Amino acid sequence: MKTKIYKQGLLGTIALLLVIFAGWAAHSGQGGVTSIYKNANTPFNDEQRVNAVLALPEDTVLVKTRYQGGFFWTESRKDKMERFKCSQCHNNKPVLVSGAAAIAHGDIRLDHGGREKPLSCFTCHNKEERDMLETEAGVRVDMDHSYQLCAQCHFRQKKDWVGGAHGKRITYWAGKRVVKNCVSCHNPHSPLFQKRWPVTYSPPDQK
């Protein structure tokens, strides 16, 4: 009787071990226990994984100024301009439409610069190649990189913008850094924010 019980117990133990072994074998391949363990203990690059998940927005350009955190991106400009390319109208062909300048640019209010030295159109725009901007030194600047032009006078703001203290980030805090361009917030022809009432109203405390 004892021998029979012993044999049954031994067979049960062997059967249990076979089940455990089969389960281990089934999960030890790809996606199983072994691979999960390896993945959990394998060093990985956080930035690479985050960047793989958080892709760059399509309307961005790589900023040509490097900062302490590496490279960063900003919003493109040309794809947001209603009348770009400028050379479609500003070319050597005669203007046949009466009052064409007022029709095309009548909505522009140029209020940029001080009273003693106000800016004109050609302070920033290249006279020959109208699709480009131009610095005081005569360097042509693509409109997507207009921040380079702003930096001539607003160099403190440019330094803060590069470092992250000025301007708004438009992507997650993880992943590649993408920020708004200067002209995303400021009208380049009239950049000063006018005084206005706050959007929300906070009533006084009622007793």
Residue 67 and residue 156 in one domain: yes
Per-residue tens of pLDDT for the chain, all 207 residues: 556 566 666 666 776 666 565 555 555 555 555 555 555 555 555 555 555 556 778 788 989 887 777 888 999 988 888 878 887 788 888 877 788 778 777 778 888 887 777 888 888 888 888 889 998 888 999 999 999 999 888 989 999 999 888 988 887 777 788 999 999 889 888 888 888 887 777 777 655
Instruction: Give exposure, 83-122, as e/b (b: 16+ Cβ within 10 Å).
Output: eeebeeebeeeeeeeeeeeeeeeeeeeeebeeeeeeeeee
Q: What angle do CA 164, 145, 129 make, to 5 degrees?
A: 165
pTM over 0.75: no
* Cα–Cα distance measured from residue 188 to residue 80, given in angstroms and rounded to the nearest whole number: 14
Residue 117 and residue 22 in one domain: no
Residue 24 and residue 120 in one domain: no
What residues make up the domain containing 13? 2-34
Q: Does some domain include residue 42? A: no
Residue 30 and residue 83 in one domain: no
Structural domain tally of the chain? Answer: 2
Check residue 47 and give its pLDDT: 53
Check residue 83 and give its pLDDT: 78
Rg (alpha carbons) of the chain, rounded to whole number: 32
Residue 64 and residue 120 in one domain: yes
Residue 175 and residue 144 in one domain: yes
Residue 61 and residue 24 in one domain: no
Residue 74 and residue 133 in one domain: yes
Q: Does some domain include residue 200? A: no
Residue 178 and residue 127 in one domain: yes
Q: Does some domain include residue 97? A: no
Q: Provide the H-helix boundaries in the chain.
A: 2-27, 33-41, 46-53, 100-105, 121-124, 147-150, 155-163, 182-185
Report the length, in residues, of the chain.
Answer: 207
* Cα–Cα distance measured from residue 75 to residue 62, given in angstroms and rounded to the nearest whole number: 9
Residue 60 and residue 128 in one domain: yes
Residue 56 and residue 14 in one domain: no
